[in-house]
Amino acid sequence: MTALGRLRDEAPDEALERRAPGDVATVAGPAPLPWLSALAVAGFVNAGNWKTSPLLSGVPFDLTLVLAALVVAVVGWRIITDGIPFPVAVVVAGFSLLVPPLLWTVSSAYADEKTLHLLTLTLLSALAPAVLVRTVEDARRLLTGYAAISLLTVVNVLVDPAPVATYRGAPLALPGVTTIAVGQSAAFVLLFAALAVIWKQRWSLLWAPPVAAAAILVMLQTGSRGPLLSAGGAMVVTVALLRPPLVRAGAVVGLVALAVTGLFARAPRYAQERIEQAAQGQVTGDILLRVRLFQAAVRSVGRDPFGIGWGGYERIAPEGYRYPHNLALELLTEAGVVFGGLFLAWVLLYYLWARRAGACFTTSVLLAGFSFALLGSTTSGDVNDNRAMFMLLGASVAIVHRTRARDRAGPP
């Protein structure tokens, strides 16, 4: 790469580092142990994928709570040294929309646990990046840390795969970890590697192709259709919104599609069948069940537009399910059209604003990860299962307001 080409590729990231009014980080210097902060947040968000594994299931403590305590410690240290940034107020204001539904929440074991986790651990997943991301380099470290921990999941599946059932040809995952969770980790690794090549990151042509191939293979082996389709959608959306160098982007997207086609034959038989059924538009099995869950949520919104309280979907769910496997429907059903709708609008607003940070590698990974998380939230998990999305939301809030402060400051 020529020096001019390198400067052109790196300029948007560097531009975000320009000093702006009230930007404490550029005055006080880098945060203490910045990589520890990034890995603590990434590990905390991803803890659910590891604490039930044979490697960690025997530890005498809850991995999520221990990492949450570490995140609180690094966040507290950053506040003490650099102050409270404005994005913290934005995140707190957004999550305050989820408090009024407590007034009509009916207490139950699931509702109480869900509410507690929502206003503590899930809030922390968005609040921590709002405190820690003061520059684009902070955001890059956070995204790199999350990609690295996700890559550990990919490698673990390749080295020590565990069939999800005893029949021959069953999809692969990890002990105690769902195929969807493994697929989500693999998808983020794929997006990170593909975008590294598109934006010509250092040494990306050496490490990104094998990493992307490994991530694609693991996604196919899980047979998890949501992450596979969401990853493709996220890549297309990111290229369309940020418009990176189109020749490289087109070449990378084409190579990823070829890799999916070529590696499909190496997936277990029933993982292949699951993917083929989705590709053919067959509404059977758990896809049909998802439709029934969605319908129950829509009927509930029609009957109770103000919501039925946190955990209330459990009372109306078919076949004993606790949530509709769709974040938007879950919020509209339980928090109501007013508060749930405002919260969704807030999330989507900062998702759309994230592109204002400029076209660069860091912004593209943030936007791609956010796009993937939003698409994935339409088919799986409840609100507390979407902590990765809230982590990316908090980082987006921080980057958006950092960019606005930079623009107000004008040229350096």
Can you give the pLDDT at residue 190? 97
Residue 213 φ then ψ, to 5°? -60, -40
H runs (alpha helix) in 34-85: 34-46, 63-82
Residue 310 φ then ψ, to 5°? -65, 130
Q: For the segment 277-332, what is each residue's pLDDT rounded down to a tens digit?
A: 877 776 566 778 888 999 999 999 999 999 999 999 999 988 788 999 999 999 99
Give the pLDDT band of residue 357 (cuts 50, 70, 90): confident
Residue 324 contacts residue 298 (beta carbons within 8 Å): no
For 156, other C-beta atoms within 10 Å of its C-beta total 21
Can you give the pLDDT at residue 410? 61
Can you give the pLDDT at residue 1? 37
- Counting Cβ atoms within 10 Å, is residue 354 exposed (0-12), middle (13-18) or buried (19+)? buried
Model confidence at 13: pLDDT above 60: no
Mean pLDDT is lowest, of 184-188, 238-242, 404-408, for 404-408
Model confidence at 36: pLDDT above 80: yes
- Residues 130 and 134: their CA atoms lie apart, in Å, by 8
Model confidence at 49: pLDDT above 90: no
Model confidence at 29: pLDDT above 70: no
Can you give the pLDDT at residue 51? 66
CA 234 to centroid of chain Cα atoms: 11
Q: Where are the domains of the chain?
A: 22-409
Give the pLDDT band of residue 24 (cuts 50, 70, 90): very low
**pTM for the model:** 0.90
Model confidence at 198: pLDDT above 80: yes
Model confidence at 18: pLDDT above 60: no
What is the percent of the chain with per-residue pLDDT over 90, rounded to a whole number?
67
